[in-house]
Amino acid sequence: MDQRTSKARSANNTVVRSAALSAEHLRSQISALSDFRTFLTDNHDLIVEASGGYKIDWTAFMNIPEICEREFRTKNGGIITPAAASRVWYKVRRDVASRRRAKKPGA
């Protein structure tokens, strides 16, 4: 094996290892907020009912003892901020509405 082939294989191995690490990192990031997102999705109707159709105070929501006990965290292990909770809730509402529209007959 000549020197160029050896360097090319080494570079390819580095790229493959790097891609594997990136994929693992991405999976950990995806699952970090997914517990919170799953919780919001599973409890969507209850949360909407409890809010009475008004905007949710995410600071108060995240300080509810039952929510605190679940210890939802960000991908970096920090506490989920009210702004992040609001962004996740927006996506959950959008996804739930989209799924419900798709389930309607004739849609």
Q: Report the 10 Å Cβ neighbour count for 4.
A: 8
CA distance 88 to 81: 11
Query: What average pLDDT does range 70-85 have in this prediction?
Result: 88
Would 44 be classed as within a structural domain?
yes
Q: Report the 10 Å Cβ neighbour count for 45.
A: 9
- Report the Cα 61 to chain-centroid distance in Å: 18
Q: Report how many domains make up the chain.
A: 1
pLDDT grade for 15, boundaries at 50, 70 and 90: very low
Q: Are 37 and 92 in contact (CB under 8 A)?
A: yes
- 69 vs 22, higher pLDDT: 69
Quote the mean pLDDT of the chain: 78
Would 26 be classed as within a structural domain?
no
**Percentage, residues of the chain above pLDDT 90:** 50
Would 82 be classed as within a structural domain?
yes
Would 23 be classed as within a structural domain?
no
Which pLDDT tens digit goes with each residue over 21-66? Answer: 555 554 554 555 688 999 999 999 999 999 998 999 999 999 999 9
Would 95 be classed as within a structural domain?
yes
Q: Are 75 and 28 in contact (CB under 8 A)?
A: yes
pTM equals 0.65
Residue 76 has pLDDT above 70, yes or no: yes
Would 22 be classed as within a structural domain?
no
Domain range enclosing 57: 32-103
Would 27 be classed as within a structural domain?
no
Would 3 be classed as within a structural domain?
no
